[in-house]
Amino acid sequence: MDCVPWEARPGRGVATRNGHDALFTTQSLMLYQLHAARATNNFDRHFAKLAGVELLIIDNFGLKPLKASEEQHFHDTISERYERKSTIVTSNLDLPEWTDAFPNHILGAATIDRLRHGAYKIVFWTEKAKGGEND
């Protein structure tokens, strides 16, 4: 996907300039493609691509709540990458709200624990994000 949000561009640009593979996707697109890959018997190949790329950037996490089948795919992707590959996740949600995106809060907590372990949290907060200067 060519459209990279401004907050994720430095990570993708630095990685590719230094000869590393990077893949940008949105939460919705990633999960849709995994679902479609399962329907066409290409799941293992597509999952291996997500699990193997050196830097995976997942944009818009939690914008839409995960469905039960989606949360398992999301968890499996994060778990497979855990402590092996780099992952950037962007979200408009505060970190404590991330578990609300998962129907199964236990699976959500396990997934978020893997994301947070050894992670850096970078918060971008602008006047636009707060609703303007007069708020």
pLDDT of residue 50: 97
Radius of gyration of the chain (CA): 15
Domain count, the chain: 1
Q: Compute the mean pLDDT over every residue in the chain, rounded to the nearest whole number.
A: 85
Are the C-beta atoms of residues 115 and 87 closer than 8 Å to each other?
Answer: yes
From the list 62, 53, 54, the residue with the least C-alpha distance to 31 is 62
Are the C-beta atoms of residues 107 and 72 closer than 8 Å to each other?
Answer: yes
Residue 126 covered by a domain = no
Residue 8 covered by a domain = no
Residue 35 covered by a domain = yes
Distance, in Å, from the CA atom of 34 to the CA atom of 72, rounded to the nearest integer, reads 11
Question: Where residue 101 sits, what CATH number does that domain have?
Answer: 3.40.50.300
**Mean pLDDT on 16-36:** 87
Residues 71-109 pLDDT 10s: 999 999 999 999 999 999 999 998 899 999 999 999 999
pLDDT of residue 5: 46
Residue 74 covered by a domain = yes
**Lowest pLDDT segment from 18-22, 37-41, 92-96:** 18-22
- Would the pLDDT of 42 be above 50? yes
- Domain that residue 51 falls in: 16-120
SS3 96: helix
To the question of pTM greater than 0.85 for the whole model, the response is no
Residue 43 covered by a domain = yes
Reduce the secondary structure of 71-87 to three states and give it as a string: HHHHHHHHHHHCCCCEE
